């Protein structure tokens, strides 16, 4: 009997281990690691020489050695991603009937209508309502953290349009659920719909969409014209409204539930950024729909493929799949990425390389958006025998909410005045800013508050508890968002991420301390790489950007002569790193230009965003600065977009981001030019060229890789170039570094 049932079992998903990549990755790691050991031996042997046998000062040698060790440690951590990369395939056509599928809640978070265009946000809402899933089992929640009347009114307009759009998508089986994309694309969406009926329906729907956009823009314009002096985004009551409750006519087609949620905010309470808003959604949605699975979306990340729900259920509905899978993560993909992608907006390394390897060793962490998560993983599982007071200490004083945890609570929103009013009153209590006082929300329950990267820390904690995750990367992007297209926004975004990750790295929750014995050592290294990435990269890159150059400026050699066999160690390490990164870019669909841009933006981030993000954490630990969260600007500026499409850097950002870049470039120019002059004037005195080749090449490589900064300083004169006062200020800094650094190091 058991054999018969096994024969009938058909898998809903398959995991493919990339054996070729494993062999290449491990072979390269082994050879590269041996070269690093030779480098360490070479550096250490210096300290055992007799002082009379060397003229090189100890301090610069020690500092460059530390920089090399830190960069080697960063490299070692990244090998965990390359240890066992996997890819996955799903078979949604094998899923059970619709009536057997579990319900899903969709959380869409928005925080600032000025930085997140309302038309884009509503397109995300509409695309979520059009997901290819039984409508009675789909519930969409819009979290408005600003409590803006604009977002509420626009959500009502989106609902009115969705009542026509969703049936249109289902009738004609559209695979583009986002109306803005559908009507702006010249490609045929699906099927052979050339008949007059379809054309007429499409034309009518396009007219309705134009009306929707006009109404949304009118609402936004009225708000910006009249202002809202009485409204404060940090001081407002909670508002929860079931939008389709107010439908004036009966819909022919069943529609998903749409709920607007704005939590209460008061200046006297810490609101815990995005994680706080998500936990309010968790509580409110439990009372209204209580679906066992949740899809988390950023407000600009529309559903590009309506079948993502069914693809995810291939894991949750497969009887042979372990019940320990907490979440299914889809990649973050973007629709406005240009061919050059000069700011690495698509986060290529993480999404196309690292996360496949992360998946192979236990699963990736939560990545901000585009993931389906099991509610039980966030809230836990409880029985009726559980002590009521213990549950209240963890989850808060609401008896109604506790009932949803210990009973088989399956609410169905009733469209009558009294029932809906009572339910929303209970939900409003859960959205109050004081509800979480003296509870475990944010520390043990729900999304965690410890740092501004709540996704990383929550995912890490779930894995530590024994949960698993999977990374699903279909050929067609399931979700498409808007990436940053200028240097200012990308720098702010990465600074925020760096701050959150560093705060974990230097805390009691450091993966190397908090993770051992709770997860595999390879997965632990993946989490450690993320946590320590900003610190390791900024410290090592600042060392490589200044120490060899100061020594070059003062005729002090830190590398072997070209004729010395030890020079091969550095040559092999450099070429090995370059070729491996180039190989990975090309094999994941990139070009040599893509590789060049990735390498450049990594260096630029290391001395700016990573540096300031790490500095923020130090100040925060000293009590000199509070953690902050600035939403990424999603407004597309035509001028910025044009420069981005042309592959031209837009340097219109704060001086704090520009000054370090320009200072590094000026120091390298000074050191390199002086070395060239000495070499020419003194006719290669004492083998200067051979002795200093390593440092000259390093400066030359930095200058060539960051030529765009030199161009922005000297050649360009447009509005997006580097201002003259920044260059002059950086010139003062570089002279100071050359003088003081030379006095100290040499």
pLDDT of residue 624: 73
What's the mean pLDDT in 684-702? 88
Return d(Cα 684, Cα 686) in angstroms, integer. Answer: 6
Handedness of CA 349, 352, 358, 363 (dihedral sign): positive
Grade residue 693 by pLDDT with cuts at 50, 70 and 90. very high
Sequence-distant (6+) residues with CB within 8 A of 97 are: none
Residue numbering of the annotated binding site for Mn(2+): 274, 298
Residue numbering of the annotated binding site for UDP-alpha-D-glucose: 115-116, 145
Which SS3 state, helix, strand or coil, does residue 232 take?
A: strand
- Digit-coded pLDDT (tens) for 169-190: 998 888 889 999 999 876 556 5
Sequence-distant (6+) residues with CB within 8 A of 623 are: none
pLDDT of residue 229: 46
Do residues 336 and 636 lie in contact, with contact meaning Cβ atoms separated by under 8 Å? yes
Highest mean pLDDT among 242-251, 376-385, 470-479: 470-479
Q: Which two tokens stand for residue 269?
A: 């309470």
pLDDT of residue 634: 58
Number of Cβ atoms within 10 Å of the Cβ of 691: 21
pLDDT of residue 744: 87
Task: Please give the span between the terminal C-alpha atoms of the chain, in angstroms, as a whole number.
Answer: 81
- Digit-coded pLDDT (tens) for 670-689: 999 999 988 777 766 667 88
User: Exposed, middle or buried by CB within 10 Å (0-12, 13-18, 19+), for 250?
Assistant: exposed
Q: Which two tokens stand for residue 384?
A: 């009726």
Return d(Cα 13, Cα 475) in angstroms, integer. Answer: 15
Sequence-distant (6+) residues with CB within 8 A of 307 are: 92, 132, 175, 478
Grade residue 1 by pLDDT with cuts at 50, 70 and 90. very low
Q: Which of 11-20, 48-57, 142-151 has the lowest mean pLDDT?
A: 48-57
pLDDT of residue 5: 47
Do residues 103 and 137 lie in contact, with contact meaning Cβ atoms separated by under 8 Å? yes
Number of residues assigned to the chain = 746
pLDDT of residue 424: 86
Return d(Cα 476, Cα 307) in angstroms, integer. Answer: 10
pLDDT of residue 684: 62
pLDDT of residue 678: 83
Highest mean pLDDT among 2-6, 201-205, 513-517: 201-205
The tally of CA atoms less than 13 A away on the side-chain side of residue 73 is 20
Average pLDDT, the chain: 90
Q: Which of 375-389, 400-414, 609-623 has the lowest mean pLDDT?
A: 400-414
What's the mean pLDDT in 414-440? 83
Which of 144, 300, 455, 489 is flagged as catalytic? 455
Do residues 372 and 361 lie in contact, with contact meaning Cβ atoms separated by under 8 Å? no
Residue numbering of the annotated binding site: 115-116, 145, 274, 298
Return d(Cα 283, Cα 404) in angstroms, integer. Answer: 10
- Digit-coded pLDDT (tens) for 231-279: 567 788 899 999 875 555 555 678 999 999 999 999 888 889 899 999 9
Which SS3 state, helix, strand or coil, does residue 105 take?
A: strand
Domain boundaries, the chain: 504-745
145 is catalytic: yes
The tally of CA atoms less than 13 A away on the side-chain side of residue 281 is 31
Who has greater pLDDT, 26 or 225? Answer: 26
pLDDT of residue 496: 93
Grade residue 69 by pLDDT with cuts at 50, 70 and 90. very high
What Rg value do the Cα atoms of the chain yield, rounded?
Answer: 28
pLDDT of residue 187: 58
pLDDT at 592 over 60: yes
Query: For a pLDDT cut of 70, what percent of the chain falls above it?
Result: 91
What's the mean pLDDT in 160-166? 95
Q: What is the residue whose two structure tokens read 């529609």?
A: 255
Between helices 417-430 and 273-288, what is the axis angle to 10°? Answer: 150
Do residues 319 and 18 lie in contact, with contact meaning Cβ atoms separated by under 8 Å? no
Number of Cβ atoms within 10 Å of the Cβ of 240: 22
Return d(Cα 291, Cα 411) in angstroms, integer. Answer: 9
pLDDT of residue 541: 97
- Tell me what percent of the chain is helix, strand and coil, each rounded to the nearest 5: 55, 10, 35
Grade residue 515 by pLDDT with cuts at 50, 70 and 90. confident
Do residues 395 and 439 lie in contact, with contact meaning Cβ atoms separated by under 8 Å? yes
455 is catalytic: yes
Which of 145, 305, 341, 616 is flagged as catalytic? 145
- Digit-coded pLDDT (tens) for 485-510: 899 999 999 999 999 999 999 999 99
């Amino acid at each position: 009997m058991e054999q018969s049932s096994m024969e009938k079992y058909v898998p809903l998903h398959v995991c493919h281990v990339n054996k070729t990549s494993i062999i290449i990755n491990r072979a390269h790691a082994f050879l590269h690691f041996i070269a690093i050991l030779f480098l360490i031996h070479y550096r250490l042997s210096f300290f055992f020489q007799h002082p009379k046998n060397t003229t090189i000062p100890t301090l610069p040698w020690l500092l460059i050695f530390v920089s090399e060790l830190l960069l080697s440690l960063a490299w070692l951590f990244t090998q965990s991603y390359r240890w066992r990369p996997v890819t996955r395939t799903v078979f949604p056509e094998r899923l059970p009937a619709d009536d057997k599928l579990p319900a899903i809640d969709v959380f869409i978070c928005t925080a600032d209508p000025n930085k997140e265009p309302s038309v884009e946000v509503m397109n995300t809402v509409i695309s979520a309502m059009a997901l290819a899933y039984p409508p009675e089992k789909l519930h969409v929640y819009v979290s408005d953290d600003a409590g803006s009347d604009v977002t509420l009114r626009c959500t009502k307009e989106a609902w009115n349009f969705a009542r026509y759009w969703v049936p249109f998508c289902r009738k004609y089986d559209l695979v583009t659920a986002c109306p803005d994309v559908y009507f702006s694309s010249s490609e045929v969406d699906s099927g052979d719909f050339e008949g007059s009926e379809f054309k007429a329906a499409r034309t009518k729907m396009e007219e309705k969409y134009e009306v929707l956009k006009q109404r949304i823009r009118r609402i936004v314009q009225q708000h910006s014209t009249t202002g809202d002096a009485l409204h404060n985004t940090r001081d407002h009551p909670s508002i929860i409204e079931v939008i389709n409750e107010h439908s004036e006519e009966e819909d022919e087609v069943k529609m998903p539930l749409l709920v607007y949620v704005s939590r209460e905010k008061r200046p006297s309470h810490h609101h815990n950024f995005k994680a706080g808003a998500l936990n309010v959604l968790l509580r409110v949605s439990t009372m209204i729909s209580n679906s066992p699975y949740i899809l988390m979306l950023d407000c600009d990340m529309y559903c590009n493929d309506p079948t993502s729900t069914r693809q995810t259920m291939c894991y949750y509905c497969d009887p042979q799949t372990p019940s320990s899978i907490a979440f299914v993560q889809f990649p973050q993909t973007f629709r406005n990425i240009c061919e050059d992608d000069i700011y690495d907006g698509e986060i290529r390394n993480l999404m196309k390389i690292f996360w496949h390897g992360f998946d192979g060793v236990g699963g990736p962490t939560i990545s901000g958006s585009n993931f389906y998560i099991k509610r039980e993983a966030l809230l836990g599982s409880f029985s009726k025998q559980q002590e009521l007071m213990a549950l209240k200490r963890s989850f808060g004083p609401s008896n109604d909410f506790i009932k949803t945890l210990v009973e088989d609570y399956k609410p169905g929103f009733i469209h009558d005045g009294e029932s809906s009013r009572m339910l929303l009153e209970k939900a409003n209590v859960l959205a109050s800013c004081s509800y979480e006082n003296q509870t475990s929300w944010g520390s043990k329950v729900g999304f965690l508050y410890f740092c501004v990267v709540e996704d990383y820390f929550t995912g890490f904690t779930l894995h530590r508890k024994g949960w698993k995750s999977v990374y699903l990367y279909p050929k067609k992007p399931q979700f498409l968002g808007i990436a940053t297209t200028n240097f200012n926004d990308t720098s702010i975004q990465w600074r925020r991420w760096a701050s959150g990750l560093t705060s974990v790295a230097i805390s009691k929750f450091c993966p190397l301390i908090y993770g051992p014995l709770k997860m595999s050592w390879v997965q632990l290294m993946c989490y450690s790489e993320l946590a320590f990435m900003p610190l390791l990269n900024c410290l090592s890159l600042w060392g490589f950007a200044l120490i060899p150059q100061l020594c070059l400026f003062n005729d002090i050699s830190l590398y072997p002569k070209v004729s010395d066999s030890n020079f091969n160690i550095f040559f092999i390490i450099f070429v090995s790193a370059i070729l491996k990164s180039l190989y990975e870019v090309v094999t994941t669909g990139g070009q040599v230009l893509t590789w060049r841009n990735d390498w450049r933006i990594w260096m630029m981030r290391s001395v700016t965003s990573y540096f300031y993000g790490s500095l923020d954490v130090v100040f925060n630990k000293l009590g000199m600065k509070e953690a902050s969260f600035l939403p990424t600007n999603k407004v597309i500026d035509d001028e910025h977009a044009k420069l981005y499409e042309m592959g031209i850097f837009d340097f219109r950002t704060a001086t704090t981001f520009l000054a370090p870049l320009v200072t590094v470039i000026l120091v390298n120019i000074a050191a390199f030019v002086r070395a060239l002059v000495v070499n020419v004037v003194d006719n290669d005195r004492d083998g200067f060229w051979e002795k200093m080749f390593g440092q000259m090449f390093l400066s030359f490589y930095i200058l060539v890789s960051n030529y765009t900064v030199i161009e922005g300083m000297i050649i360009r004169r447009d509005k997006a170039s580097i201002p003259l006062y920044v260059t002059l200020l950086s010139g003062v800094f570089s002279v100071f570094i050359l003088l003081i650094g030379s006095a100290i190091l040499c």
